[in-house]
Chains A and B, each alone.
Chain A
Amino acid sequence: MILEKLILATIIFGISLFIAMYATYLERKVAAWLQDRVGPDRAGPYGLLQPLADGAKMFLKEDFIPTNADKWLFIMGPGIAMFTALMTSAIIPWGTDLVLFGRTIALQVADFNIGILYIMGVLSIGVYGIMIGGWASNNKYSLFGAIRASSQMISYELAMGITVITIVMMTGSLSLRDITNAQHGMNWNVFYQPLAFIVFLICSLAELNRAPFDMAECESELIGGYHTEYGSMKLGFYLFAEYISMFISSAIISILFFGGYNFPGMDAFSGNVLAILGVAALFMKIVFFIFVIMWIRWTLPRFRYDQLMHLGWKSLIPISLINMLITGLVIAFKNGWFNS
């Protein structure tokens, strides 16, 4: 049992790293494609070895700590960012149960009944990684990058939390497994909650510090943002954490709104075939959302900081609250609570 979970955790860890690595490649290819360029094509066929070359380079760079930086916090910052990014994948249901060597293996490292709360909690700890890193650098640009990033992340967390509540109201459970199972076949939440989906997508972009909300690292004002002073794998951790979070966010969007491992016509299959097809369906959705996030980055210009805070506080929070009330009323009408 313990061994099984350890193997599963290691496999998922490997997959997260692999996807994060190739997301950097995909990002450059998507950017090149959208801007009518070629993109990386030197390392290996179609430049497929580029992420490995980048990784090796990161490892061999100088591990640098500025003199007036706070040494321990400076090391802790990227560590926390990477650790929290890796922790979130524990709760994601990757597929239905798999039967191997006569044992039933749940394709989920941990299934407990507060799944989505766990994810929100761990993501919030990620703010500390950025804040500590930026502050410890003792660089004004890093500090401003960190403050902007954390202030933006906490602002959008409110609207995100409220949209998740609408989904929980429809399912009656916080467990991601239950939420997925409630969307059997094509019964996806996005058809009932399109508004919540849009709000959640916007909030995810803001939580990820991705364009058009990448105020934290706008080159023209703040050099590199909170990771200006970082080099070697410490910088690598920040970048990796961002791409792993992108992978996990895409997974969560797929699970909450697009049925996770459910796909139309899934009743025709059963057992291991269903499990494998389910995993494939989930990964197709995840890759699609990773692409959407990149597509948005290379299409929209950056917001101004006050516009960002306006959108977060004055539009998204009231919209998601009203959406929640409407959901409640509609469910009440449907179940006939008002008739009795």
Chain B
Amino acid sequence: MTNSSYSDYFPILIQAGVALGFVLAVLWVTHFLGPRLKSKVKNSNWECGIESDGNARFPVSIRYFMAAILFVLFDVEVIFFYPYAVNFKELELEGLYAVILFVAFFLTGFFYVLKKGALEWEK
């Protein structure tokens, strides 16, 4: 199976319809079921029983952001491997050498990031 046409993707829409229908129906139904009680204290956030203080819109540690940025970077590189892997057996040695070079670039970047301490969580 090498060629794909748009009609192959059509069943995905059907599946999406079934899934979306279920999700919306359940959210709609539960909106009307069950009791509704409101009070100022009850409607505030629950933070371990102690009175909640301020809100949760504050800056978080830069490390999470680093992990996210590095993920985007490396994931793009990983995606480049996919077309290669599919054609691996046709490309033979030429492709293999090219991908070894590419892995070398990947690892260079990877070790640079490690050396710079971008992924050190204890410090």
Residues of A within 8 A of B (CB): 2, 5-6, 9-10, 13, 59-63, 66-69, 75, 79, 82-83, 86-87, 89-90, 109-114, 117-118, 135, 137-144, 147, 150-151, 154-155, 157-158, 161-162, 165-166, 168-169, 172-175, 177-178, 223, 228-229, 232-234, 237, 305-306, 309-310, 313-314, 317-318, 321, 324-325, 328-329, 331-332, 335, 337-338
- Is A109 within 8 A of B46, CB to CB? no
Distance (Å) between the CB of B80 and the closest chain A CB?
10
Q: Given known contacts A61-B34, A67-B43, A83-B23, what 5 new A-B pairs fall within 8 Å (CB)?
A: A9-B11, A67-B40, A223-B48, A229-B45, A232-B34
Main secondary structure of the interface of B (DSSP, over half): helix
- Is A237 within 8 A of B1, CB to CB? no
Contacts of A140 in B (CB 8 A): 47, 56
- Is A141 within 8 A of B12, CB to CB? no
Q: Mark B56-97, 1 if CB is under 8 A from A, else 0.
A: 110010001001100100110011011001111100110010
- Is A165 within 8 A of B34, CB to CB? no
Distance (Å) between the CB of B44 and the closest chain A CB?
6
Distance (Å) between the CB of A49 and the closest chain B CB?
20
Query: With contacts A59-B30, A117-B82, A232-B30 known, is A10 near B23, CB below 8 A?
Result: no
Which listed residue, A110, A233, A313, A321, touches B15 by the CB 8 Å rule?
A: A110
Distance (Å) between the CB of A218 and the closest chain B CB?
13
Contacts of B103 in A (CB 8 A): 321, 324-325
Contacts of A158 in B (CB 8 A): 71, 74-75, 78
A79 to B28, CA, bound (A): 11
Contacts of A147 in B (CB 8 A): 60, 64
Contacts of B106 in A (CB 8 A): 321
Contacts of B26 in A (CB 8 A): 233, 237
The chain B residue with its CB closest to the CB of A12 is: B15
- Is B67 within 8 A of A177, CB to CB? no
A338 to B103, CA, bound (A): 20
Inter-chain residue pair count (beta carbon < 8 A)? 208
A13 to B18, CA, bound (A): 8
A172 to B2, CA, bound (A): 10
- Is A325 within 8 A of B107, CB to CB? no
Contacts of A109 in B (CB 8 A): 11-12, 14-15
Contacts of A169 in B (CB 8 A): 85, 88
- Is B93 within 8 A of A337, CB to CB? yes
- Mark out the residues of chain B between 1 and 36 whose CB falls within 8 Å of any chain A CB in the assembled complex: 1-4, 8-12, 14-16, 18-20, 22-24, 26-27, 29-31, 33-36
- Is A337 within 8 A of B96, CB to CB? yes
The list of the 10 closest CB pairs from A to B, nearest first, reads A306-B121, A86-B19, A110-B11, A112-B8, A168-B85, A90-B15, A154-B71, A139-B45, A67-B43, A233-B30
A150 to B114, CA, bound (A): 21
A211 to B25, CA, bound (A): 32
Distance (Å) between the CB of B69 and the closest chain A CB?
10
Distance (Å) between the CB of A56 and the closest chain B CB?
10
- Is B56 within 8 A of A143, CB to CB? yes
Contacts of B60 in A (CB 8 A): 143-144, 147
A242 to B5, CA, bound (A): 32
The chain B residue with its CB closest to the CB of A154 is: B71
- Is B75 within 8 A of A60, CB to CB? no
A150 to B64, CA, bound (A): 9
A-B contact pairs, 11 of them (CB 8 A): A62-B37, A63-B30, A63-B36, A87-B19, A113-B3, A165-B78, A174-B86, A228-B46, A310-B121, A335-B92, A337-B93
A17 to B68, CA, bound (A): 32
- Is B12 within 8 A of A90, CB to CB? yes
A328 to B29, CA, bound (A): 53
- Is B71 within 8 A of A233, CB to CB? no
- Is A172 within 8 A of B64, CB to CB? no
Contacts of B40 in A (CB 8 A): 67
The chain B residue with its CB closest to the CB of A143 is: B56
Contacts of B22 in A (CB 8 A): 13, 82, 86
Distance (Å) between the CB of B91 and the closest chain A CB?
10
A234 to B31, CA, bound (A): 10
Contacts of B74 in A (CB 8 A): 158, 317
